[in-house]
Structure 1
Amino acid sequence: MMGRRVDGWRDGVRVALLVGLGALPLLGPALWNGYPLFFFDSFEYVPLPFTGELPVYRTAGYGLFAWIGRLTGSLWPIIVVQCLLVAFVLLAFARAVAGGARVGACYAVLLATAAVGGLPWYTGQVMADGLTGAVILGLLTLLLFRDRLPRSWAVVVTAVVALGIASHTSHIGIAGGLLLLALATVALGHLRPGRLPPVRTGLPAMALAAGLMLAAGANWTVTGRLFLVQPSTVQTLALFVENGLAARYLDEVCPGREPPPHALCAYRGALPHSANEFLWGHSPFRALGGWDGLRPEAEAIVDGVRSRYPGALLWQSVRFTARQFAMMKLGDGLVPMQFLMRDPMAAHYPAELAAFEAARQQRGEIGFALWNPVLQGLWWGGLGGLVLLAAGFWRAGCRRQTLLALAVLAALGGNAFICGALSNPNHRYQGRLAWMPVALVGLLLTAGAGRATTTAPGSGPLCGEGERRRVG
């Protein structure tokens, strides 16, 4: 009994050291910057625990992290906690995929490829985007490799996934889509016994349910109303402005009618060419009432577009999904933020105002001109490698690895659809996952190199004979 306790204590210390060491590269850009990084939306999350004001069209779930700042009097603990949580999920994922062999090497490869792929530029922001990859890999660990994790690890992964789901509405859609695919795989496995490995949906379903409850609970705490997401009709109108369907609709319904059916008719010849410009730039958005005042008109125009142009809307959704899938430049929004963040910093974190103003971001010293071409190559090369590995795994009967590669591809596509077709394409949406394809390829190659495998020429590293017998 005493020996088991000592071994358990040693394992706990070892895990804590690995997670702590893994968090360091994830913190790297923020440490180099001299202060946590900010995106435009950070302006609404940083004051949330103090003001109780809900960010526009967003969930208050990320306020769970923002409260860490208020409780500690500093914004540094927010991103430190983020990096520790992501590092733990990466370690658990490496352990599960490696199956106990070469875990340290697999973890190091994951961290290195994630760093080169830009993940630390998101984990170092006071934003939820750094958690997106952890939600995906955490869910896939629970779905496909639950048998390779101790119970305590699985519980922690479930909790991290739930927190990630609650922190951003796009995470709800990604997690829900992966769970639906998992249920479909389970059903297919019942139809074709022995052809597919077990897929365990219990803990992933609990993580999704807990994430939804946390998100709704955070919204209730802030507003006194119980709801999951805010109405997004105005944001959808902005999307239709960008894809041209709003202008097409207004050109059909506005001419020759007095009074005009929509106030936006007066501006139909001067609509901007992007959703961001419509919502945040020089546009009639504020003149027409902003988020609240424009909502009734937005609902009418959105309904009109959907009823008149279903085919065009479907095509634009496909086009914007593909467009988002290819957009992943680093540096989106990492510009000087004094005009937004100085007042909240002075009001709520005055002791850190000097560090904020001295940070490289505020001095305009962050650039990615040389890094982004490399990132593009890693993205497309990683995607090609995943496809080749999935084909090789399938031919060798390694169904679990095949499902992993296909599920990551599906998650990347789902992220592009949710963010590109339902919101509007932005480089940061796919950029937060640009590291994942090459990281998974590196992990699978490293894990495969440590196993006794028999491979066909050109098929790549495959699963061991024992697993082929189990699933074949």
Structure 2
Amino acid sequence: MSITTDQLRARAAGSFWLRLAAVALPPVLPLLLIAPASWNGYPLLQWDTGGYLARWYEGYLVPSRSTVFGLYLHYGENLGFWNNLAVQSLATLWLLQLTLRVLGLMQTFRFVAISLLLILSTALPWLASMLLTDIFAGLSVLSLFLLIVGGERTSLLEKISLFVFTAFAAATHSATLGVLLGLCAAGWMARPLLGRHLPIAGLAQASLTIIAGGVMLVSANHALSGQWAWTPGGYGVAFGRMMQDGIVARYLNDHCPRERYKLCPYRNELPATADEFLWGKSMFNTLGRFEGMNDEMGYIVVHSFADYPAWQAGAALRAMGQQLLHVATGEGASVWIPHTYGIIERYIPAQVAPMRAARQQNWGLDFDYVNWLHVPVALVSMLGLLALLGHALANRRLDDLTLLAAGVTLALLGNAFICGVISGPHDRYGARMVWVATFVVLIALTRRFDDDESANEVSAAA
């Protein structure tokens, strides 16, 4: 079967536009990735941002607020945090192209096309545009994978960069560290079955990033607070989730007649949600917040597991399942966030004017329309991961893309377990990770398209 002149001309024209796009678009991608912040007129803020910003100035540890990430934000203050967004944007694009290269699929046009699709259809640009740890949660899954399987396909400088990046990401949030730790543990357990597909050297490097991240966090905590300590707050967050599930009220009703707890007088007045209890105007404030309540909350958390094991297991599974479905973009960014505003006004007065002038602070953000696209794409992408793994299993195909799909699937499950069970289901926790599933599905689709094109060319030549 011969190729006609018209077909040759069409291919030449198409090739010209592909080459033009490949040359023109890559320099623009970093700007497109932080387009939400540019449109906003200021980096996007979230409720938790203020807690991280304050770490440099307040000199003490607070629950769930990494001093490592606080230092990272502090060094961006003089430039309005735009240098932080530049780091986030460039790191994202670096890891996307490096993943494609290690998989043997890197072509400039493919990289540009996948990047644009992620920018248009996922939470990725909103995460890259925000002063929050969330962007590093998904990126660290890619960097850990590249450390494990990269081998001779990455240079020494790239290995060092991946190691430092992964350790830093692990130090920015306990949930991110937990997911990475779980992936390393799964890798070591699967090593006897998968052999050379999971090199021992790669697994060792990946595992050392967890240790390095822990050392980084404890050292930063000591530098800022004088304490050799882990970031506090685990019991308080878990307590809030159990209170939301009704477990705390049941425990207090069962024990208050014979045991004295600070919460006993309030056992019939507990808020309906963990957020109301921990961050609203509740009895938690009256009783001294984390400093006054941490011991009691920790005691109730531990002993409620012993008292109600079946209830706890059922609540954990429900929370995990719900978390997998909570994937909407923008949670916490389109509401009034007085704590963060107050921290900026108190400690960074030079940033008050541009911050107040931004669209976000003038109720200009509405994620409803965005999520009409983002939520279906996220859910379909998770199904696509399962389909990809099922197809690989049916065909007994084990390659690096299959390993990446399996790793991302485990990361999504681990993230849902850690965040859903400890903190309770939130869209923010799902959105920060699920875009990686979309990335993997897009890679698989482009590879399938290439295979089909090659088959057609062979058929046409014949």
Question: What TM-score, normalized by structure 1, do the two folds share?
Answer: 0.85
Structure 2 partner of 1:318: 317
Structure 1 partner of 2:141: 136
The one-letter amino acid paired with 2:33 is L
Find the aligned partners of 1:91 and 1:454 in 2 and give their Cα distance: 23
Structure 2 partner of 1:401: 401
Structure 2 partner of 1:438: 438
CA 1:253 to 1:149, structure 2 compared with 1: closer, same or farther past 3 Å? same
Structure 2 partner of 1:26: 33
> Of residues 202, 205, 209 in structure 2, which corresponds to 1:203?
205
The one-letter amino acid paired with 1:77 is N
Q: CA deviation at 1:420?
A: 0.7
Q: CA deviation at 1:316?
A: 1.0
Find the aligned partners of 2:309 and 2:108 in 1 and give their Cα distance: 50
Q: CA deviation at 1:44?
A: 1.5
The one-letter amino acid paired with 1:226 is W
8 Å Cα contact 2:51/2:340 also seen in 1: no
> Of residues 166, 171, 178 in structure 2, which corresponds to 1:161?
166
2:81 pairs with 1:75: yes
Q: CA deviation at 1:273?
A: 1.6
8 Å Cα contact 1:375/1:434 also seen in 2: no
Q: CA deviation at 1:442?
A: 0.6
- What does 1:41-120 correspond to in 2, within 5 Å? 41-70=48-77, 72-97=78-103, 99=104, 101-120=106-125
Structure 2 partner of 1:461: none
Q: CA deviation at 1:147?
A: 3.4
8 Å Cα contact 1:29/1:121 also seen in 2: yes
Structure 1 partner of 2:215: 213
Find the aligned partners of 1:296 and 1:162 in 2 and give their Cα distance: 30
8 Å Cα contact 2:187/2:198 also seen in 1: no
* CA RMSD between the two structures: 2.5
8 Å Cα contact 1:135/1:161 also seen in 2: yes
The one-letter amino acid paired with 2:242 is F
Find the aligned partners of 1:239 and 1:426 in 2 and give their Cα distance: 11
The one-letter amino acid paired with 2:272 is H
Percent identity between matched residues is: 28
Find the aligned partners of 1:56 and 1:375 in 2 and give their Cα distance: 31
CA 1:384 to 1:420, structure 2 compared with 1: closer, same or farther past 3 Å? same
Find the aligned partners of 2:440 and 2:206 in 1 and give their Cα distance: 20
Find the aligned partners of 1:439 and 1:128 in 2 and give their Cα distance: 20
Find the aligned partners of 1:363 and 1:288 in 2 and give their Cα distance: 35
Find the aligned partners of 1:100 and 1:411 in 2 and give their Cα distance: 23
8 Å Cα contact 2:170/2:210 also seen in 1: yes
CA 1:305 to 1:336, structure 2 compared with 1: closer, same or farther past 3 Å? closer
Find the aligned partners of 1:60 and 1:282 in 2 and give their Cα distance: 26
Structure 2 partner of 1:362: 361
Q: CA deviation at 1:323?
A: 1.0
Structure 1 partner of 2:419: 419
CA 1:350 to 1:262, structure 2 compared with 1: closer, same or farther past 3 Å? closer
Provide the secondary structure at the position in 2 that maps to 1:333: coil
Find the aligned partners of 1:338 and 1:387 in 2 and give their Cα distance: 38
Q: CA deviation at 1:338?
A: 6.3
Could you give the per-residue CA deviations for residues 194-215 of structure 1, whole angstroms, max 9, x where no partner exists?
7x56463132123222212111
CA 1:115 to 1:183, structure 2 compared with 1: closer, same or farther past 3 Å? farther
Q: CA deviation at 1:188?
A: 2.2
Find the aligned partners of 1:152 and 1:447 in 2 and give their Cα distance: 28
Q: CA deviation at 1:81?
A: 1.6
CA 1:31 to 1:55, structure 2 compared with 1: closer, same or farther past 3 Å? farther
Find the aligned partners of 2:95 and 2:25 in 1 and give their Cα distance: 12
8 Å Cα contact 2:382/2:434 also seen in 1: no
Provide the secondary structure at the position in 2 that maps to 1:276: helix
CA 1:422 to 1:92, structure 2 compared with 1: closer, same or farther past 3 Å? same
Find the aligned partners of 1:318 and 1:166 in 2 and give their Cα distance: 27
Find the aligned partners of 2:33 and 2:52 in 1 and give their Cα distance: 21
Structure 2 partner of 1:230: 232
Provide the secondary structure at the position in 2 that maps to 1:35: coil
8 Å Cα contact 1:95/1:103 also seen in 2: no
Q: CA deviation at 1:180?
A: 0.7
Structure 2 partner of 1:265: 264
Find the aligned partners of 2:244 and 2:49 in 1 and give their Cα distance: 24
The one-letter amino acid paired with 2:410 is A
8 Å Cα contact 2:62/2:232 also seen in 1: no
Q: CA deviation at 1:275?
A: 0.7
CA 1:244 to 1:278, structure 2 compared with 1: closer, same or farther past 3 Å? same
8 Å Cα contact 2:244/2:274 also seen in 1: yes
CA 1:294 to 1:91, structure 2 compared with 1: closer, same or farther past 3 Å? same
The one-letter amino acid paired with 2:264 is C
Find the aligned partners of 1:217 and 1:20 in 2 and give their Cα distance: 37
Provide the secondary structure at the position in 1 that maps to 2:367: coil
CA 1:147 to 1:453, structure 2 compared with 1: closer, same or farther past 3 Å? farther
8 Å Cα contact 2:51/2:65 also seen in 1: no
Structure 2 partner of 1:466: none
Find the aligned partners of 2:248 and 2:335 in 1 and give their Cα distance: 33
Provide the secondary structure at the position in 2 that maps to 1:131: helix
> Of residues 186, 190, 196 in structure 1, which corresponds to 2:191?
186
Higher helix share: 2
Structure 2 partner of 1:4: none
Provide the secondary structure at the position in 2 that maps to 1:370: helix
8 Å Cα contact 1:91/1:107 also seen in 2: no
Provide the secondary structure at the position in 2 that maps to 1:201: helix
8 Å Cα contact 1:101/1:450 also seen in 2: no
Q: CA deviation at 1:114?
A: 4.6
CA 1:157 to 1:103, structure 2 compared with 1: closer, same or farther past 3 Å? farther
Could you give the per-residue CA deviations for residues 362-382 of structure 1, whole angstroms, max 9, x where no partner exists?
001101112213222112211
Find the aligned partners of 1:58 and 1:139 in 2 and give their Cα distance: 23
Structure 1 partner of 2:326: 327
Q: CA deviation at 1:56?
A: 2.5
Structure 2 partner of 1:13: none
The one-letter amino acid paired with 1:406 is A
Find the aligned partners of 1:404 and 1:88 in 2 and give their Cα distance: 17
Q: How many residues align?
A: 431
Structure 2 partner of 1:175: 180
8 Å Cα contact 1:391/1:402 also seen in 2: no
Structure 2 partner of 1:339: 338
Q: CA deviation at 1:336?
A: 5.1
CA 1:19 to 1:262, structure 2 compared with 1: closer, same or farther past 3 Å? farther
Provide the secondary structure at the position in 2 that maps to 1:334: coil
